[in-house]
Chain A
């Protein structure tokens, strides 16, 4: 499992191909438990690639984030493939992008990394505060082993893994051109306990819960920018004419922003949790997204990012679709 030699060998071979523009993987970050995306065009750069419990980043976002620069007259646009390393959750983002025609299947090479779960940085940094030197980590039989300057520390996975990983039903890429190592076993079910807990509260309680979080939002748009499913050329929330959401930072506009985003993700969110991970003020955005994910699953038996041949939920219709939620 997590055979780095294999990973690097496959990466080398892939970037050496003439029809590949670059490969996106993970590398060590600059300090502590951080990991950076690694864009490589040359085989020798592959040696820096890693795959460890620290590789939280969903790299699928870079497939659609890339800016299409104007092509000078007389030149052909670069149509070479992009190779991408994906965990299970990341692969669902790729599949959903395929469903929405955000990317074309022939323009990507998917290198699948079956994953035993990645850490929640907040949980780790609570256990090991103020670590500045670069830390490595590995999976070891239900434990996560961190290589710190004072030596290796093994922590049970339940204590440091991200919540989404503890209930993960898709640890293995749902689609891949190459699978780097053996598949891992998945959790069988996700009962949406976190959503259920909120649903059980009175409307006023729920509102005060969100009011507190939305008031603290600084509208940095990190959640939107990191989201692999947010890739409109021109986001409707940035528009001035008409202005759907004002720029002013207040509870009203912030709420409008988050609700609009949540509804734009209904039937599309693949629960990679990147929005929540990057939020500088720790808004539990996944609770919002997962509420809609749950509704979509229960009402329409639809799970985005699992079938590249499916039709997008919001653009498909069955005569027997439920409509009892329409007031």
Chain B
């Protein structure tokens, strides 16, 4: 700058938020006497239209070249005021904010001291603002396709929405079929729709939609790149079945020497399957997969005189030579819909889940009541002669939820309602049974939920307030020791079946995606959204969105709503075709960089690479920032020994005068 800077300082009252504790008149009078300050004003709401108008008019009439707004946190209104500057024809990055609300008025009571501090903060901002440089917001092209990780209801809904809008979708699902946990449910609360009836058509749509490329039994290996331009590497695991030939007839599974011996994952281990299997009858794709951990031929190299599945398969689809396949493609945006796992009730040994066959989980009961389940929908516990039809059924809620002792302080949000639903199904199937639910609180918060809860109670399900302390066996019966906290008495109830309403927890393999995409986790271990209220589907990584229980426990309506939200966010990117990238990013002075690569290792976004450059005839290695990937976090600048890495708008030269002012002022 050859011309002297002309700075405007605007002190905001924020109604009484600031003005109550800070003498805003005194601050703006002080600011008016600071070096290079042309105008200093105070106003009740700087962010309001007339407040912004003040700035715009001063830029035009007074020829301001720099603006300081002393108000709230820049997280709140930095963008607002940047737009104000831009509207008046000034580079939006000629703005500096002094946070005299969160950092001052809100945390102090003494008006005199708070005013003195506000003056300091304003002076520091004035010292910095004149050194700011104009920055340019660049745009990058967006690859018109999306990756969806996870083929549960969240992933399915997001995929269908994006595909319907005309964009290519790659869906990667770890297991052999899409459908996720919802496919295991019998009925869904509160309307008691048959889960399969509402889900299966969507699963079929995903497989048949021309815009969706479905990759089941596949895993994301690596993702590089940045918003609009991600490079994805997927491992398609060997199924040992050629899915182009397999007709899904099932002859192979009938012939398999291990048929009926391997616990079925889909049926929660209550049913048995073969080593070559279709997870469930409505699986999509309806293609068989060989379990390589179990298959005799794959584990021992020998299966009788030869694998029977080969003989049985008329289509010749069995191929034991099949290898994992790596496929690579580019996408513009990513939706993470990897879902959840259920809390392992064995971690609460007092409930005896590991010891007693008639202590089961909600999802296990779900399989028992399902017509497609191992018992054909009969609620029968045990096998053969010992099999019983339970008369006394008890549900225990909050198993692995709202429980600090197992590290699960949060509410899983679905257990109250799925317990009520299962209780209803039990009373329907076993009209003679007595059903009771031990609970802490009943959370029936959704549309139609409270009504459903009332209905279940009217149907005769007893709600007992108090979490059982112990379950033990007495003869053929299970005894539940609990305290009815409303009646104020201790109980020892004898029952035939205990159903544990296990809570939701993050997937064990959640870290894999975190490592690949540099996502964050909240304290409960679920993926962290960018803002709990205003950006609930976004992540800190641009172009990566969350849907469903990967972000936190939620029921099906919320999951579908969030999936649609994530799809909508992804579509904003895809349909606009370009995306603005951060302007306040890091920059490396290649003349002083010694190419040590520390910043490359430090960068949490993988935004820095070492490149070879010609320095006066010598080929040397220096670090270079990928401007589309850099988030401007400044970690590289802090880690650089030679000060070659600097973050724009936060350069050493810009920050030091600010610090000097703070240090010098009394």
Contact = CB atoms under 8 A, between A and B. Distances in A.
B617 A71 contact: yes
Interface stretch (B40-48, B57-65, B493-501, B636-644): B636-644
B656 interface: yes
A319 to B, nearest CB: 9
B131 to A, nearest CB: 11
Interface stretch (B95-103, B323-331, B524-532, B592-600): B592-600
Interface string B568-594: 000000000000000000000001111
A292 to B, nearest CB: 15
B100 to A, nearest CB: 26
Interface stretch (B111-119, B388-396, B432-440, B618-626): B618-626
B617 A234 contact: no
A72 interface: yes
Given A102-B596, A242-B656, A312-B596, A236 B615 contact: no
A123 to B, nearest CB: 34
B550 to A, nearest CB: 20
B639 A71 contact: no
A232 B594 contact: yes
A196 interface: no
B596 A233 contact: no
A234 B642 contact: yes
A68 interface: yes
A42 B593 CA distance: 34
B601 interface: yes
Contact of B594 (A102, A241, A316): A102
Nearest to A72: B617
B592 A232 contact: yes
Nearest to B610: A101
A327 interface: no
Contacts of B598: 100, 312, 314-315
A236 B643 contact: yes
A264 interface: yes
Contact of B617 (A75, A101, A102, A239): A75
Nearest to A74: B617
A308 B597 CA distance: 14
B602 A234 contact: no
A311 B639 CA distance: 14
Given A232-B594, A233-B594, A234-B592, A315 B618 contact: no
B616 interface: yes
Contact of B597 (A236, A239, A315): A315
User: Among the interface residues B591, B596, B653, which one has the most CB atoms of the partner chain A within 10 A?
Assistant: B596
Contacts of B133: none
A235 B643 CA distance: 9
A69 B391 CA distance: 91
A234 B616 CA distance: 16
A241 B601 CA distance: 27
A280 interface: no
A203 interface: no
A77 B591 CA distance: 18
A200 interface: no
Interface in A294-327: 311-312, 314-316
Contacts of A235: 642
B652 interface: yes
Interface in B611-666: 615-621, 639, 641-644, 652-653, 656
Contacts of A239: 643
A315 B639 contact: yes
Contacts of B600: 315
A70 interface: yes
A316 B601 contact: yes
B601 A311 contact: yes
B620 A232 contact: no
Contact of A314 (B616, B639, B643, B653): B639
Contact of B596 (A70, A72, A100): A100
A312 B640 CA distance: 12
Given A100-B596, A102-B596, A315-B597, A232 B641 contact: yes
Interface of A is mostly: loop
Interface string A223-259: 0000000011111100101100000000000000000
Nearest to B593: A233
A77 B618 contact: yes
A68 B653 contact: no
Contacts of A234: 591-592, 642, 644
Contacts of A233: 591-594, 642
A197 B619 CA distance: 48
Interface residues of A, number: 26
A17 B437 CA distance: 86
Contacts of B639: 314-315
Contacts of A242: 652-653, 656
A231 B593 CA distance: 11
A132 to B, nearest CB: 41
Contacts of B594: 102, 231-233
A77 B653 CA distance: 36
B596 to A, nearest CB: 4
B188 to A, nearest CB: 38
Contacts of A71: 616-618
A264 B610 contact: no
B601 A68 contact: no
User: Among the interface residues B593, B598, B615, B641, which one has the most CB atoms of the partner chain A within 10 A?
Assistant: B641
Nearest to A241: B653
Contacts of A232: 592, 594, 641-642
User: Among the interface residues A72, A102, A231, A242, which one has the most CB atoms of the partner chain B within 10 A?
Assistant: A242
B616 A70 contact: yes
Contacts of B595: 101
Given A68-B615, A75-B617, A242-B653, A101 B601 contact: no
Contacts of B642: 232-236
Interface string B133-160: 0000000000000000000000000000
Nearest to B619: A77
User: Among the interface residues A73, A231, A233, which one has the most CB atoms of the partner chain B within 10 A?
Assistant: A233
A101 B641 contact: no
Contacts of B656: 242
Interface in A60-99: 68-73, 75, 77
Contacts of A101: 595-597, 610, 621
B552 to A, nearest CB: 21
A101 B596 CA distance: 5
Contacts of B653: 241-242
Nearest to B652: A242
A51 B620 CA distance: 33
Given A235-B642, A236-B643, A77 B596 contact: no
A316 B591 CA distance: 25
Nearest to A101: B597
A312 B615 CA distance: 25
B588 to A, nearest CB: 12
B175 to A, nearest CB: 28
B272 to A, nearest CB: 40
Contacts of A100: 596-598
Contacts of A264: 641
Nearest to A264: B641
A99 to B, nearest CB: 9
A312 B601 contact: yes
A72 B642 CA distance: 28
23 contacts: A70-B616, A70-B617, A71-B616, A71-B618, A73-B617, A77-B618, A77-B619, A100-B597, A102-B596, A231-B594, A233-B591, A233-B642, A234-B644, A236-B642, A239-B643, A241-B653, A312-B596, A312-B597, A314-B598, A314-B639, A315-B598, A315-B601, A316-B601
Considering the complex of A and B, which 7 residue pairs feature the smallest CB-CB distances, nearest first? Answer: A71-B617, A315-B601, A70-B616, A232-B642, A234-B592, A315-B598, A100-B596
Given A70-B617, A234-B591, A242-B652, 17 more contacts: A68-B615, A68-B620, A70-B616, A71-B618, A72-B617, A73-B617, A100-B597, A100-B598, A102-B596, A232-B594, A232-B642, A233-B594, A234-B592, A312-B598, A312-B601, A315-B597, A315-B598
